[in-house]
Chain A
């Protein structure tokens, strides 16, 4: 029986099948067999607004909650928009004047209660799910979404911050070990998906101002990770190797560089209760000729792997042998192992859990 292994696919041309799913039940608007472009909607849903309660007694600083009704400008059933005056306390001689403005677009649903509270219900939100990559609808999931088949270059990433996006692939750095510096970014980066080894906080700030859609790097540091958590940005950041100062793998960099100027689809991870599928960068091929598929290479002799731990972490290697017996690693941990050839070294013994299939 074949071993399954953790996999992050990196391929110049591959046939992929991607599920595109609504977060809640809705309508699928395409049919099986149809061809779609990235911007085509494939499913739609309406998300009901969650009512919010506002205490106007406190907001208007009134003496008695029973006074709220007197100051209402809007009535239950009225529609409201952000900034509309819902209640106004005029005050005397210009003092104590206070307006309460609607924080939402929606409906003044009910109130005031004896405690001076009103309910506002936001308008239902229309969710439109785009195909996001060009391809053929090979299956539909009733009320939920579709599966799209497409052929192109595919780079799966270990981490992703931000959502789905698309943009023109732009390789600013000359090599996979060069980091993206703020001075390298200019107006030409507007709408682009940038490629580099690493990115710091200053470059992320600059990218945001310039309208960059996404940045693909080999690694980011913990400091950048923390900044991303504190500053949710519209720039999607994808990490191909890991955290720290690992350069992007040469093969990954070359694939992305070869597609310079083409539109790339960035697919954020799809989260489930059990984990998430990896984030991906997909660049559609001109010709619909596949050279492999995602199920492609088995974990065995000749397979290309990324070494994940130890002194060679980040290095790509080729499996020489998957050993049946366990061995003691340098850490003292007894583990099943593989022997790999990496760079100019042959027969390196690595824990089997410490390699990841890449293609």
Chain B
């Protein structure tokens, strides 16, 4: 048997609402998930120190496992012979405000400006562009404009883009930056020069010792390593400017020898691994209190849409104007005032969880509205799975989904938030392990892969989701399902409905999908196809509700429709009375 690359691993994720810990250890030669716990993050009043929550959550793991992990100086590293301590300790976090970067570009049309912006947008960086050619030509007013921008935007760093032939505008910028620091009108922040080495050297001479200066090549489509280098610079700035300012984080940093990773990117890292291992397209959605991330991965490569103004906690306030979007997803009457009051209460106390079934449905609708806003704002990649290339995979995460006990509600929340189309499996990051394992994978990929493939995903089943519109009740898709030796069974699902057919986790079924003319189930409009559906906690799901899900419905019929959907996935209507 091959010797494991590392022994026990303690991974912590510090979220805006909750701090989670997971312990992994070697069981019969393989890394397995051993225990997890979560507590409220202690960043806020009355504690205002994240290390308190981290100590609490580790204490809970110690209690669950009956094993001592902490010493007086933090986690005991490496693991002792008596079983106490761990071999590796790693943290991820989604805490902190957005990194603010000022981009200074000689012209609007500079190719590297578009590429740099794309990288920053994908990482959720708040950026503002100063186009040097558009600044006033008179030096005083130009200086006032530059200082005004620095004072208002307060960037954590300045990214200057340029080439050798743009020397005069770059020279003016350098003079203005130096003068702003000299006159104490702006703070000295790191300056990153993105461009040719010749232009970089002359700019560095001009800003002299007033700024910490870094030079990097422009991102170049033909050379992916330049983009990776820029991404690493941004990650390093995030660490310095955001993470190191988190109250109490310095103590946690002193416990580990590796840099902290952003939860969303660590999560995306895990999805990239899954896509490579399963040879499939994967789209995920992690619905957090103060962010929503939608990573996409195929063949081991990935992209990320990170919404740091989305989420169902502190950022719920950003959907206050979307009461109508929330209401059309509810199975009961709710006025604008009731919805808005509920949004404000969630904003004021983001750590709370739904107590009643009605509150659960409200938060599910809130997730969908917030995710829809993010997908609209970021022009997110299509959630279309080409069925001809096999089953895709949709992965859901976040406390609302992961802590839900009903697979039907999990599936509806996920489908409504992401609105995917085609044929795909649905899985849940039930124990919130993917982000932690994504961070572990940077250092011990084999250990992370073993635990990830065995323990991280809980499958709900296979979904066939149709895009298209039709008359309510008209046939959208016909499914022929054959399980083992059973006779094939035919099911017609009308437009506007969803249906779930039990199919246990270890089962597969042969499914023939025949959409009606106007509908597309992943094989193209009106085109039929076959697939081998895999089972799960819910089974085979046929989502013929169309896209977007739940368009506004007049005369209150929308409520009945949503109650039918809940019924279809195993929730009888009387639950909805408990508003």
Taken residue by residue from 329 to 353, chain B's Cβ proximity to chain A (1 for < 8 Å, 0 otherwise) reads as 0000000111011111100110111
Asked if residues A4 and B349 are in contact (CB atoms below 8 Å), the reply is no
B210 at the interface (CB under 8 A from A): no
A6 and B337 within 8 A (CB): no
Q: Within 8 Å of chain B (Cβ to Cβ): is A90?
A: no
User: Which residues of the other chain, A, contact B404 by a CB distance below 8 angstroms?
Assistant: 332-334
Q: Which of B335-375 contact A (CB under 8 A)?
A: 336-338, 340-345, 348-349, 351-357, 359-360
Chain B residue at minimum C-beta to C-beta distance from A121: B144
Q: Are B359's CB and A309's CB within 8 A?
A: yes
Determine if B259 is an interface residue (Cβ-Cβ < 8 Å): no
What does the 1/0 interface line of B286-301 toward A look like (CB < 8 Å)? 0000000000000000
Which of the residues A115, A275, A328 comes within 8 Å of B138, measured between beta carbons?
A: A115
**Given the complex of chains A and B, what is the CA–CA distance between A333 and B355 in angstroms?**
8
Which residues of chain B are within 8 angstroms of A222 by Cβ–Cβ distance?
Answer: 320, 336-337, 340-341, 343-344
Chain B contacts for A111, CB-based, 8 A: 140-141
Q: Which residues of B contact A333 (CB under 8 A)?
A: 353-354, 360, 400, 403-405
Known: A50-B147, A53-B144, A278-B45. A332 touches B247 (CB 8 A): no
A257 interface hit (Cβ, 8 Å): no
Q: Please tell me if the beta carbons of B352 and A309 are within 8 angstroms of each other in the complex.
A: yes
The verdict on A354 contacting chain B, using a C-beta distance below 8 Å, is yes
Partner of A4, one of B52, B136, B184: B52
Convert A85-115 into 0s and 1s, putting 1 for each residue whose CB lies closer than 8 angstroms to a CB of B. 0000000000000000000000001110111
- The answer to the question of B43 belonging to the interface, with a C-beta cut-off of 8 Å to chain A, is yes
Contact of A115 among B42, B141, B405 (CB under 8 A): B141
- Do A117 and B136 touch across chains, with their CB atoms under 8 A apart? yes
Residues in B neighbouring A243, C-beta threshold 8 A: 340-341, 344-345, 348
- State the CA gap A357–B344 with chains docked (Å): 20
| A113 touching B44, Cβ below 8 Å | no
Give CA–CA (A117, B406) in the complex, Å.
66
Residue of A nearest to B140 (CB): A110
A5 contacts partner chain B, Cβ-Cβ < 8 Å = yes
Task: Give the distance to chain B from A246, nearest Cβ to Cβ, in Å.
Answer: 9
Shortest Cβ distance from residue B425 to the other chain A in the assembled complex, whole angstroms: 22
Binary flags per residue of A1-36, CB closer than 8 Å to B gives 1, else 0: 101111101000000000000000000000000000
Contacts of A310 in B (CB 8 A): 355-356, 359
Q: Is the CB of B56 within 8 A of A113?
A: no
Q: Which one of B147, B336, B348 contacts A158 once the chains associate, using CB atoms below 8 Å?
A: B348
- For chain A residues 142-163, which have a beta carbon within 8 Å of chain B? 158-159
Given known contacts A243-B348, A334-B403, A223 and B136 CB-to-CB distance under 8 angstroms: no
Q: How far is the CA of A98 from the CA of B47 in the complex (A)?
A: 60
Q: Flag whether B227 is at the interface (Cβ < 8 A).
A: no
**Minimum Cβ distance to chain B for residue A25 (Å):** 11
Kindly state the separation between the CA atoms of A111 and B151 in the bound complex, as whole angstroms.
22
Beyond the given pairs A7-B46, A243-B348, A331-B355, 11 more chain A to chain B contacts, judged by CB atoms under 8 angstroms and listed by A's residue number, are A5-B40, A50-B185, A115-B136, A221-B341, A274-B96, A308-B345, A310-B355, A330-B357, A330-B578, A351-B353, A353-B351
User: Nearest residue in B to A306 (C-beta to C-beta)?
Assistant: B349
Contact indicator A356/B46 (Cβ below 8 Å): no
Tell me if A322 counts as interface (CB < 8 A to partner B). no
Please list 25 pairs of residues, one from A and one from B, whose beta carbons are closer than 8 Å in the complex, sorted by A's number: A3-B39, A4-B42, A6-B40, A6-B349, A48-B185, A50-B151, A51-B148, A111-B140, A111-B141, A113-B140, A114-B138, A115-B137, A117-B140, A242-B345, A243-B340, A243-B345, A244-B345, A277-B48, A308-B349, A313-B345, A331-B359, A332-B357, A334-B403, A335-B353, A351-B352
Given contacts A332-B404, A351-B355, contact A7 B45 (CB under 8 A): yes
Q: Is B409 in contact with A332, judged by CB distance below 8 angstroms?
A: yes
Which of B185, B246, B360 interacts with A332 by CB under 8 Å?
B360
B45 touching A277 by the CB < 8 A rule? yes
Q: How far is the CA of A125 from the CA of B565 in the complex (A)?
A: 61
Per the CB 8 Å criterion, the residue count for chain A at the interface is 54
CB pair B359–A4 under 8 Å, yes or no, is no
Report B-chain residues with C-beta under 8 Å of the C-beta of A1. Answer: 55-56, 59
Distance between Cα atoms of A259 and B567 in the complex (Å): 55
- Does B539 sit within 8 A of A, measured CB to CB? no
Q: Which of chain A's residues 232-276 have a Cβ closer than 8 Å to chain B?
A: 242-244, 273-275
Report the bound CA distance from A7 to B360 in whole Å: 24
- Measured in the bound complex, the distance between the Cα atoms of B340 and A82 in whole Å is 42
In the bound complex, residues from chain A placing their C-beta under 8 Å from that of B45 are: 7, 275, 277-278
**A-B residue pair count with CB separations less than 8 angstroms:** 167
Instruction: Collect the chain B residues with CB atoms within 8 Å of residue A84's CB.
Output: none
- Distance (Å) between the CB of A123 and the closest chain B CB? 15
The answer for the CA separation of A330 and B354 in the assembled complex, in Å, is: 8
**Does B542 lie at the interface of the complex (its beta carbon under 8 Å from any beta carbon of A)?**
no
**Nearest chain A CB to B57 CB, angstrom units:** 10
B212 at the interface (CB under 8 A from A): no
Residues on the A chain within 8 Å of B336, using CB: 222
Q: Please list the 3 inter-chain residue pairs (A to B) with the smallest Cβ-Cβ separation, ordered nearest first.
A: A310-B355, A222-B340, A113-B138
| Interface set of B (CB-CB < 8 Å, partner A) | 39-40, 42-48, 52-53, 55-56, 59, 95-97, 136-138, 140-141, 144-145, 147-148, 151, 184-185, 245-247, 314, 320, 336-338, 340-345, 348-349, 351-357, 359-360, 400, 403-406, 409, 578
| Cα A150 to Cα B40 with chains together (Å) | 30
Name the residue on A nearest B57 (C-beta): A1
Does A329 interact with chain B (Cβ within 8 Å)?
A: yes
Name the A residues within 8 Å of B353 (CB-CB).
309, 329, 331, 333, 335, 351, 353-354
In the bound complex, residues from chain A placing their C-beta under 8 Å from that of B43 are: 274-275
**Chain B residues whose CB sits within 8 angstroms of the CB of A277 once the complex forms:** 45, 48
A328 and B406 CA atoms in complex are apart in Å by 10
A4 and B47 within 8 A (CB): yes
**Chain B residue with Cβ nearest A159:** B348
Q: Flag whether A210 is at the interface (Cβ < 8 A).
A: no
Known interface pairs A222-B320, A273-B97. Does A331 touch B345 (Cβ–Cβ under 8 Å)?
no
Task: List A contacts of B97 (CB < 8 A).
Answer: 273-274
CB-based contact B355/A329 at 8 Å: yes
Taking the closest CB of chain B, its distance from the CB of A161, in whole angstroms, is: 12
In angstroms, Cα B308 to Cα A224, docked, is 27
Q: Which residues of A contact B136 (CB under 8 A)?
A: 53, 113, 115, 117
A230 close to B (CB within 8 Å): no
Q: How far is the CA of A332 from the CA of B247 in the complex (A)?
A: 34
CB distance from B333 to the nearest CB of A (A): 16
The residue on B at minimum CB distance from A275 is: B44
Asked if A227 is an interface residue, CB under 8 A from chain B, the answer is: no
The answer to whether B245 touches A273, judged by C-beta atoms less than 8 angstroms apart, is yes
Please determine whether A6 and B140 come into contact, CB atoms closer than 8 angstroms. no
Chain B residues closer than 8 Å to A5, beta-carbon distance: 40
Whether the Cβ atoms of B46 and A295 lie closer than 8 Å is yes
> Which of B138, B342, B357 has the most chain A CB atoms inside 10 A of its CB?
B138
Distance (whole angstroms) from the CB of A5 to the closest CB of chain B: 7
Contact residue among B320, B341, B352 (Cβ-Cβ distance under 8 Å from A353):
B352
Contact A117 B138 (CB under 8 A): yes
A119–B144 CA distance with the chains assembled, in angstroms: 8
Q: Decide if B403 touches A4 in the complex (CB within 8 Å).
A: no
Q: Which residues in B have their C-beta under 8 angstroms from that of A308?
A: 345, 349, 352
